[in-house]
Structure 1
Amino acid sequence: MGGVAGKLESPEMVWVPETKLEAKMVEAMQRRASKGTAMKSFNSIILKFPKIDENLRKCKAIFEQFDEDSNGAIDHEELKKCLNKLEVSFTEEEINDLFNACDINEDMGMKFNEFIVLLCLVHLFKDNATSLEAKSRMGMQNLEATFETLVDAFVFLDKNKDGYVSKNEMVQAINESGERSSGRIAMKRFEEMDWDKNGSVNFKEFLFAFTRWVGIDDMEDEEEEEEGRV
């Protein structure tokens, strides 16, 4: 995501958001970065994987709540009802942008991992405005700490606080953890995040990679296999 501005040989490339949603994401992340991060190393992020995985799987109940036709995906209308229940006010354009951004398979329905990314983006954009009572009703209040950990992890990786993670920043973050094969690990992790292969990772791309790292995608594959056996 994001286009590059300025000369390519420049040591610091400036990334320009390609969509309004990406611009909001970058702005929100820069605002959040100004508060600092509790993360001290990439290893400290990895150590949190099991707990994050456990908490994200609890989103399944919320997902099923809004998947009214139980087809394994949340469509546009179901999403609008979800945001209403959360007492989050987005314009029609913002809802469309969110839906299109998270429906990465472009099949007009958000699968479970796509829904997790959406909830985390809503947390980033509207945290202060979202009613605690509504979150409590939906069973989301315990997910706040998990979403904040994901925001924290991205802030840690985004060394220059421009709202994107570059390949150099990923290498720097993993080098700090003292891994002997850190360069190779950094490249692999970065490639897993950089979906559009443009050398820059925004928060949404990071979240999709993260659901894969902790095994949320595997969970969906297992469920589909079980359904096929029934």
Structure 2
Amino acid sequence: MATFLGSLEDMRAVFNKFDKNGDGKICRDELKSTLSALGFAFSSDEVDLIMLEMDKDGNGYIDVEEFIAFHGISGIDGDEKQCDNKELKDAFDIYDLNKDGLISANELHAVLKRLGEKYSLSDCQRMISQVDKDGDGSVDFEEFKKMMMNNS
């Protein structure tokens, strides 16, 4: 079982959740609605800024390559993309629902459920245990960062 946000395959699956109509690109409305489903209430201006940041070719859409590059995953052309701490923290915060600095299996399960994934709580516990290096039953930011930076 893969970790919860790491491999290229996982990132493609997350991209597909944003790409509601399956046309291979994320439009502004798809981005806003998926972020809303995850519990984020971004203003129109904030969504526009996110689009500008991710849409590197300026065509008004986010394609899978742009999505993966933004998330810092070693990607399609084989180049290593380095995440900065802010991007990693933003990704971490999506899962850290109660903002206690830890991602629990329950939080992971809740986020995946919002995205329409059919993982059980025990599946989520297994995913957490793969990343949980200190054995406390949850993933802290340092463990999350190591997982994200070590994926190829």
Higher-Rg structure is: 1
Q: By percentage of residues, which structure has more helix?
A: 1
